[in-house]
Structure 1
Amino acid sequence: MAQTWAVLAALLFLIIHLVKGSAYNMVSVEAGHEAVLSCPYVSKMSLLMVTWKMKCSTCCLLAYRRDHNETRRLNCSERIMWKYSPDDDPALCIYPVSLGDEGNYTCEIASSEGNFLFFSSLTVIVPPTVTLTCDKSRVAVCQASAGKPAADISWIPASNDSTEEEVHHPDGTVTRVSYIGWVNNTLPTVTCLVTHPAMNQTLSLDLSCAFPRLPYLLIGGSASVAVVSGVTLCLIFRCRAFRLRQLARGSAVPFASKNFRSTPSCEKRDVVDPPVLSECIYQNYNPRFINMDY
């Protein structure tokens, strides 16, 4: 047993000798902003080399060697750079940060005083897109789309009838949707509260505008059209009946308008006997205004 403890103590001493110090840091940054990963400060005179690594086989490696004043980049995009001069402050800067930059990073420093390790865990936060809508069945829908982490949704006033569902996307973002029905509720508005590490947002929906009484309006409009159409048809039929009665009376006593001028349907002959003349037909005539010159 004593021999085992001696071996463990020797290993611990060796680790402390090789790595004089280590630390761990957690950084959360909103997508599109600047992420800064710090590294322990080492005296400029004792610094030999500093190297940043992202933990994956083909990920970024950024290194600086002080004795040659040389910087080396491997599989690093232009968004990843030194925040300051590496021999003064070897902090790493990523701007603008994206979901693909999320992960664990290691800063290794070699100096005349020993070797140092510093671990950083980068988490990228994505604010969701928030919408508040309604459907024809009088259900309010509050949706927080593509957020990371998933947003929390609550209603004002609170209700036990709300239901939620989640959709997980391949990039790690989550869409959360909450439904609440207001069929038998007389409240004028409903409010959706979305809580997220990157933002807090409140949206209100006017239920009187969102759910208009459209069927009743349509029925009222149809009834109005029917009434107007009925009155119009009634007037047309009454006028037509009155006109027919006038024409019926005019068959006994034909009516002639002013500026009357008859048009004969047969030509006058030089010698016309009264019986022949009486057989000529005149259009649009009134017997009261015809002079019989026999």
Structure 2
Amino acid sequence: MVCPWRTSDLWLLLILTVFLVAVNTSLTVLMGTKAVLCCHPIPLTNVVLITWEIIPRDRPICKISYKGGTNEITKNNCTDERITWASRPDVNPGLQIHPVALSHDGYYRCQMAASNGNFDHGYRLQVSVCPEVTLSPVKNRTAVCKAVAGKPAAQVSWAPVGDCVTEQEHWDNGTVTVWSTCRWPDSNVSAVTCSVSHLCGNKSLSQNLLPG
């Protein structure tokens, strides 16, 4: 992903007197992929200072700054090498996270001080994790379907519908394991299908029941 940055598209901003423009965006990104966060699209010739403020869920605040004119880059309390400029900040000051990890959950804000005002673009970043799905038959015409360590929690459904109990276990890293235990007392049911729905996509598994 590349942040759009064409001065010709933004010439109207040059005739505006703006004190503050603030935008907030909610963004969900799959763990292990690359995320690029863009600043407010203004002509960089007007920019005096660009600062990315990074507020992770469970780590100290990090700040990365670029000064226009001197091309000086400073970092304050930033140790995660997976978080970098997406390009040269004087060309495109977007922030790149690669690869995205669970620890990157948090709030990211690009603050731009320019000759014609201040421009903020914030991102509430949520990291999504695909669950591992299993289906196991047990005795007495019962089966257990698990969606292990997903984020957010997965949804589990059955076909045909049985007598089911669904439970969840929340882990310290923010992932959730969901398991559903179902029983089919009707002897006419010989095979069942568990369907798991998640932001990562849907998955279905089928299994024959063990005789009770």
Q: TM-score, normalised by structure 2?
A: 0.84
Which residue in 2 is equivalent to 1:33?
33
Which residue in 1 is equivalent to 2:44?
44
Tell me, yes or no, if structure 1 residue 101 matches structure 2 residue 104: yes
Q: Is the 8 A contact 2:71 2:90 kept in 1?
A: no
Q: CA deviation at 1:100?
A: 0.8
Unaligned runs of 5+ in 2: 1-16
**Which structure has the highest strand share of the two?**
2
Alignment of 1:82-231 (within 5 A): 82-159=85-162, 161-207=163-209, 211=210
Unaligned runs of 5+ in 1: 1-16, 214-294
Q: Look up the equivalent residue of 1:20 and give its one-letter code.
A: L
CA distance in structure 1 between the aligned counterparts of 2:137 and 2:189, rounded to whole angstroms: 15
Q: Is the 8 A contact 1:41 1:89 kept in 2?
A: no
CA distance in structure 2 between the aligned counterparts of 1:19 and 1:58, rounded to whole angstroms: 29
Q: Is the 8 A contact 2:28 2:128 kept in 1?
A: yes
Count of residue pairs the alignment pairs up: 193
Higher gyration radius (CA): 1
Q: Is the 8 A contact 2:139 2:211 kept in 1?
A: no
CA distance in structure 1 between the aligned counterparts of 2:100 and 2:19, rounded to whole angstroms: 30
CA distance in structure 2 between the aligned counterparts of 1:171 and 1:44, rounded to whole angstroms: 39
Q: CA deviation at 1:106?
A: 1.3
Q: For 2:103, what is the secondary structure of its paired residue?
A: helix
Which residue in 2 is equivalent to 1:5?
none
Q: Look up the equivalent residue of 2:116 and give its one-letter code.
A: E
Q: Look up the equivalent residue of 2:28 and give its one-letter code.
A: S
Change over 3 Å in CA distance of 1:19–1:54 after alignment to 2: farther
Q: Is the 8 A contact 2:141 2:211 kept in 1?
A: no
User: In the TM superposition, what whole-angstrom CA distance separates every residue of 1:147-204 from its partner, at most 9, and x where no partner exists?
Assistant: 1111000001123x11111111111111111011134322231000000011210000
Q: Look up the equivalent residue of 1:128 and give its one-letter code.
A: P
Which residue in 2 is equivalent to 1:78?
81
**Which structure has the highest helix share of the two?**
1
Higher relative contact order (CA 8 A, sep 6+): 2
User: In the TM superposition, what whole-angstrom CA distance separates every residue of 1:122-171 from its partner, at most 9, and x where no partner exists?
Assistant: 01001111000022333100000111111000001123x11111111111
Identity of aligned residues (%): 38
